[in-house]
Amino acid sequence: RHLLDRIGQLDSQLNSFITVTGEQALAAADHADRILAAGGAGPLTGIPIAHKDIFCTDGVRTSCGSRMLDNFVPPYDATVVRQLADAGTVCLGKTNMDEFAMGSSNENSYYGPVKNPWHTGLVPGGSSGGSAAAVAAGLVPAATGTDTGGSIRQPAAFCGITGLKPTYGRVSRLGIVAYASSLDQGGPMARSAEDCALLLNAMAGHDPADSTSTRREVPDYCAELERPLEGLRIGLPKEYFGEGLDAATGECIQAALRELESQGATLVEVELPNSHLTIPTYYIIAPAEASTNLSRFDGVRYGHRCDSPENLHDLYTRTREEGFGDEVKRRILVGTYALSAGYYDAYYRKAQQARRLIRDDFLACFESVDVIAGPTAPGPAFGIGEKISDPVAMYLEDVYTLAVNLAGLPGMSVPAGLVDGKPVGLQLIGRHFDEGRLLNVAHRFQ
C-alpha cells in the first residue's frame, strides 16, 4: 500500500509506469502474508516488483510501449513473470519503455517519455527506462528489464542503480515480445548486486518452451557475493577509454577501478581491436531481426487494426502506418533493406562475420583476465529532447554496451559515482555464464 501510494503521488511526474495493477498487487500481498504466517517464506516472498511492459502478463495489458499493442492483453505469463510470481514477488505493474525496446532514452514510447528521478529534465536512458526510474525513485525495490543492446545497463547507469544482463540463454525469452531474437535477454534491475542476485536466482533456468535457453544448472548467485577480490584480474579495454568518453565520466570510472584495485584486484590493459565494428554490426543485425519479428503485427491476429480496411493490402499498410512509431519504422526499413536479395551478402552476412570477430576479441581477452571493466555509457544522462532528432547521436550512446550482446556475454552496470550530480555507471563484463563473478565484483559497490 505504501508503494502504491508513492506511485500515485510521484508517477504523474516520472511516467515510469504504463499500467499499475493495484488490486492484483494487494491480493498477491495478502497471499504472501499467509505464506509468511505459515512459515513458508523464501527470500522474495512479498517483495514488490514491476515488470517492463515487454513481458507478457496473463490478463494484464502488455503494450511494449507501442500503439500497436495498446489493446493487447496476453492470455499467458512470460516464463520470467511466472518464475518471479512463484518465488512470491508481488507485481505492482508494468513499466514504460521505448517502443518495442528500440531506443536509448525512453523518448520513443507511445505513452510519452520517462523522466529521470535525479533530475526531471534528463532522460532515464532506455529502453528499460521505466524500470530504472521506478527503482531509482523508490517506487519499487526491483524490476525486470530486457537488454538487446544495453537496455538494462545504460538506464541503470543513468538512474544510479544496478542492472544485470545475463548470458544469452541463461534466462527464458518465452513471453518477451521479440525485438532481435539472437540478442534479447531479460534480467534484473535493483538497488544492489545482492538484490540482483536474489532475482536472478528466481529468473534463471532452462525453459523447455525456449529452445535457446540453456540446460546448465543454476548456481546460487548469492553464494559468491562476499568472495575476496585478491587474485582477480580486471581487463580495461583501451578502446573503451579513448576518444568519445566524457572526461569527467572517465575520471569517475578510474576512481571506481582504483577502489577495486585497493581491494586486491589487478588492473590490466587489454585490447578489443574490432570495437569500431560494433555499432554498424549491431545496427544491421538488430534491425534485420526486428523487421522479421515485427512482421507478425499485421492487424489480423492481435493488437491494433485500422478502421474499415478496403482490402487485405490496405489492412496491412494502414494498420502498420498507424500502429508503429517513427523509430520502429526506421528499423523495419533498414532491416528489410539489409535482408533484401542482392544486399544480404553485403550487409547481413558481413555483419554476422564481424559479429564473430567481436566475440573472438572478448574470448581472447578472457584467456588472461577474469572480468572486463569500463564505462557503461560515454557520459551521464543527457537532456530530454537533446538527441531525439539525431538517430546516429542516439546510436552512439550504445558504443560500450552493444558488443556484450553480440558476443552473448553477461554484463552489469553498477553505480560508480556522480558527475555534476548525475549518476555514472561502471560496466562489468564476464565470461559466458560467469554472472556469479560479476555480482561478486559489483557487490563491492553496495
Residues marked as catalytic: 52, 127, 151
Q: Can you tell me which of 102, 157, 372, 442 binds ligand GLN, judged by CB under 6 A?
A: 102
Site for ligand GLN in 110-129 (CB under 6 A): 127
Distance CA 360, CA 363 (A): 5
Q: CB of residue 414 vs ligand GLN: minimum separation in angstroms?
A: 18
The backbone torsions φ and ψ at residue 431, rounded to the nearest 5 degrees and listed phi first, read -65, 160
Q: Can you tell me which of 25, 78, 80, 101 binds ligand GLN, judged by CB under 6 A?
A: 101
Which burial class, exposed, middle or buried, applies to 75 when counting CB atoms under 10 A from its CB (0-12, 13-18, 19+)?
Answer: exposed
Nearest residue (CB) to ligand GLN, 101 versus 252? 101
Q: CB of residue 154 vs ligand GLN: minimum separation in angstroms?
A: 7
Site for ligand GLN in 15-44 (CB under 6 A): none
Nearest residue (CB) to ligand GLN, 96 versus 201? 96
Q: What is the DSSP letter of 205?
A: S
Site for ligand GLN in 364-423 (CB under 6 A): 398
Q: CB of residue 248 vs ligand GLN: minimum separation in angstroms?
A: 23
Question: Which has the closest alpha carbon to 381: 141, 129, 18, 135?
Answer: 129
Q: Which residues pair with 19 in a beta bridge?
A: 94
Cis bond upstream, residue 127 (ω within 30): yes
Binding mask 127-146 for ligand GLN (x = CB under 6 A): x------------------x
Three-state DSSP class for 337? Answer: helix
Nearest residue (CB) to ligand GLN, 256 versus 282? 282
Nearest residue (CB) to ligand GLN, 52 versus 443? 52
Q: Can you tell me which of 48, 74, 103, 117 binds ligand GLN, judged by CB under 6 A?
A: 103
Q: How many CB atoms lie within 10 A of CB 262?
A: 10
Distance CA 445, CA 157 (A): 13
Nearest residue (CB) to ligand GLN, 187 versus 250? 187
Cell of 283: 545496427
Nearest residue (CB) to ligand GLN, 370 versus 398? 398
Edge-to-edge strand order for the sheet containing 411-419?
Answer: 17-20, 90-95, 48-52, 142-146, 186-190, 162-165, 411-419, 422-430, 371-375, 233-237, 266-270
User: What count of residues does the chain have?
Assistant: 446
Query: Per CB under 6 A, does 260 bind ligand GLN?
Result: no
Evaluate whether 176 touches 224 at the Cβ level (below 8 Å).
Answer: no
Query: Per CB under 6 A, does 104 bind ligand GLN?
Result: yes
Query: Per CB under 6 A, does 291 bind ligand GLN?
Result: no
Query: Per CB under 6 A, does 303 bind ligand GLN?
Result: no
Q: Can you tell me which of 286, 328, 372, 428 binds ligand GLN, judged by CB under 6 A?
A: 286
Q: CB of residue 18 vs ligand GLN: minimum separation in angstroms?
A: 16
Rg (CA), the chain: 21
Q: Given the rule CB under 6 A, which of 148-156, 191-199, 344-352, 431-439 is the region that contacts ligand GLN?
A: 148-156
Distance CA 199, CA 339 (A): 38
Q: CB of residue 103 vs ligand GLN: minimum separation in angstroms?
A: 5
What is the per-residue DSSP string for 33-82? HHHHHTT---TTTT-EEEEETTB-BTTB---TTSGGGTT---SS--HHHH
Q: Which residue is nearest to ligand GLN (CB)?
A: 151
Site for ligand GLN in 180-219 (CB under 6 A): none
Q: How many CB atoms lie within 10 A of CB 23?
A: 9
Nearest residue (CB) to ligand GLN, 101 versus 245? 101
Q: Can you tell me which of 62, 63, 148, 214 binds ligand GLN, judged by CB under 6 A?
A: 148
Q: CB of residue 39 vs ligand GLN: minimum separation in angstroms?
A: 41
Q: Which residues contact 217 (CB under 8 A, 6 or more apart)?
A: none
- Give residues in contact with ligand GLN (CB under 6 A): 101-104, 127, 146-151, 179, 286, 398
